[in-house]
Amino acid sequence: MNQLLQEKRDAENFLRLIAPKYAAVYILDRSTDTFRDILAPEAFRAFAKDTKGSYSDAMQLYRDHYVACDYQEVIDRVLDYDYVYNILSSGNQVNVTYRKKDGTLIRLKIDRYSDNDENTSIWVYTNEDSEDALYGELGEARYRIRFDDNERPVEFIGSESLSEMLYGFKGETHISYSMLWNHMHPQDIDVVKEEFKNIHDTRDSTATYEVEYRLQNKDKQYRWYRAIGKPVLNEKGKIVSVCGFLIDIHKHKEKNLLQQRFISGLSHEYVTVWVINHDLTVELYQQTQKGNHIAQDAIEKFAKENNYQKSMEKYASEYVCEEDREDFLRNVNYRVVREQIKTEKVYPVVFQRKFNGKIDYFQACFAQISDETDDFVLGFKLVNDIVEHEKERNDRLEEEKQILESLSSDFTAIYYLEVNSGKFEPVHIQDETNASELIRSYSGYKDFYEYTYQYAMRYIPKEEQPEFLWWFSRDNLKSLLKTQVSLTQNYRTYPNAQNQQYFETKVVKVSEDEESCHALLGFRYIDDIIEKEKAIQKRLQNALEEIKRSNETISTIAKSYSSIYKVDFEADTYERISGSDIIR
């Protein structure tokens, strides 16, 4: 038995050696849903063991664990045996492709295993991103660059497949070599010219040259290609042409560049940055800080464990403070992290770390690199200052909350407004008011200015709408708040449910910089104040009328007397009211 197992392993290793693009080969018996493997990854064998040898059940586990979501329906389709065997019975093959979660492109070819057994088929999985697969297809996208007698490139010739890939042409492409630069990305021209210089300098017909650059395709979009070629020399040792192949590497290049940019953008902030691969292995991408607060031993143990879940558990047991440990392990669980970073760009977990007798606040920050891969980034950074700042901020927010609560009793509505963009947030809306009715009746306002327009159309008398809309316009608020930190404006509405119709707006500038201006806007009814002002005005009017009547009485009396005086006997003084100063 051991010898048979060893022979099987030898056969597998030999197959991988001579054809490394083969990922798996299975022979399936449809009638029993069982299979035997010619070549299989250990993970699939584990799935088969869990499903008691059922091929379809094992494939469903494989699909859920390894196949990218957008391609899982491909697996579902080929697991419909009626569909597969109908194609095989017609003398054709099933040929499909899908991508794994790590971005690898897999091709599955299904064919009849024997003409004498209609239930048996062979399933061959190949890694189309492997070097073997790539070079196996190079013959399709051939190019040749022709040189003149002075060893200068003069013409670019592309095969039919290359012409279709680049330009959408049928047949070979023949263009002058100088035209090639017009199709190439400007940033890549120098790199390609340098590679040609190397070909000229070495004149080695056995050497293979590779260069990556971007070309415009038929859709006028730049895509990444890898050019692999060799020079062809004549009997005098002069270069007559360079022949080679182009490979479309755009997706892989973009993925790698995205990963590098993403991680590089994070690196300067973090003590360590790790890449967590889809198989849970970990890679220390960068360690950017040194110092007494760095637990170097923890970093080495984390890398040595080389399994995300186990590494985190070991780290927690040795370095995370006991009161935070349970929450930490729950929050950094692999499944929890994967769910969080599906919807959030960044998923932070703050915890207390104990090291060298000192407790520091640290943050473990998770982020998905791109939608095309399940690999993600984990960064650790010291956040003592951030936590302290957050505490101060929370204290300020609590104070602001208390202020707002005290204001809320006076104001029927309070809004937080970014004046430039018009983005706003209702902080407080009192029930059974115009504002609460408008919020319920309408939704999805573009900005605060659309909101005030709807308010004016609904509640402001028509003759007063222009003044109301002008005062609450973006330009007016921006202009006023440039020189003032506080504004007040009164306006009148149609009477509301409480018969209130006079309102005051209070605008207070909160903050301002080159790009934004934030303000709080409070609205309160002032009908009681208006009533008091009206009462005062009425009393003043009555007093003026009384004085007027008194003056009229005096004027009437004055017509019968030559002089009229007001005498104060106690002070022995008098005042002439009318008539002559001389008493006749």
Give the pLDDT band of residue 330 (cuts 50, 70, 90). Answer: very high
Instruction: Answer whether residue 333 is part of any domain.
Output: yes
Pick the range with the lowest mean pLDDT from 88-102, 133-147, 330-344, 345-359. Answer: 133-147
Range of lowest pLDDT (105-109, 193-197, 332-336, 552-556) = 552-556
* Percent of the residues in the chain that have a pLDDT greater than 70, as a whole number: 80
2 residue type, one letter: N
Q: 69 pLDDT exceeds 90? A: no
Asked if residue 426 and residue 364 are part of one domain, the reply reads no
- Specify if 99 maps to a domain: yes
What does the block give as tokens for 262?
């993403």
Does one domain contain both 333 and 210? no
Q: Are residues 516 and 579 in the same domain?
A: no
Residue-wise DSSP of 463-524: GGHHHHHHHTSHHHHHHHHHH-SEEEEEEE-S--TTS--EEEEEEEEEEE-SS-EEEEEEEE
Residue 487 and residue 377 share a domain: no
Would the pLDDT of 221 be above 50?
yes
pLDDT band at 470 (very low <50, low <70, confident <90, very high): very high
pLDDT mean over 292-299: 72
Same domain, 277 and 208: no
**Sheet of 517-525, strand order:** 424-429, 413-418, 517-525, 502-512, 486-492
Is the distance from CB of 175 to CB of 187 less than 8 angstroms? no
Within a domain: 535: no
pLDDT recorded at residue 582:
59
Q: What pLDDT is stored for residue 355 in this prediction? A: 86
Q: Please report where in the chains the tokens 């800080």 appear, as a residue.
A: 289
The domain that holds 233 is classified in CATH as 3.30.450.20
Cβ–Cβ < 8 Å for 96, 10: no
HEC profile of 59-118: HHHHHHHHECHHHHHHHHHHCCHHHHHHHHHCCCCEEEEEEECCCCEEEEEEEEEECCEE
Statement: residue 550 has pLDDT above 80:
no
The Cα–Cα gap between 142 and 156 comes to 11
Residues 458 and 344 in one domain: no
Q: What CATH number corresponds to the domain at position 110?
A: 3.30.450
Instruction: Say if 431 falls within a structural domain.
Output: yes
Q: Which residues pair with 321 in a beta bridge?
A: none
Q: Which of these three, 362, 382, 402, is where a domain ends?
A: 382
In a domain, 533, yes or no: no
Q: Using the 3D structure, point to which of 492, 525, 558 is the last residue of a domain.
A: 525
* Structural domain harbouring 12: 2-126
Name the 3-class secondary structure at 439: helix
Residue 27 structure tokens: 């022979």
My answer on whether 188 and 292 are in the same domain is no
Report the number of distinct structural domains present in the chain: 5
pLDDT band per the 50, 70, 90 thresholds, residue 403: low
Q: Which helix (H) or strand (E) holds 330?
A: helix 322-331
Res 401 pLDDT > 90: no
Tokens of 572: 């022995």
**Do 415 and 468 belong to one domain?**
yes
Residue 372: inside a domain:
yes
Are 406 and 513 part of one and the same domain? Answer: yes
Average pLDDT, whole number, for the chain? Answer: 80
Asked if residue 132 belongs to a domain, the reply is no
Q: Are residues 40 and 145 in the same domain?
A: no
Q: Which of 123-127, 331-335, 413-417, 542-546 has the least mean pLDDT? A: 542-546
Note the pLDDT of residue 19.
46
**The pLDDT of residue 20:** 53
pLDDT tens for 498-536 read 777 888 888 888 888 888 898 888 888 877 776 776 677
pLDDT of 329 above 50: yes
Which of 525, 552, 569 is the last residue in one of the domains? 525
d(CA 164, CA 510): 60
More confident: 135 or 418: 418
Within a domain: 268: yes
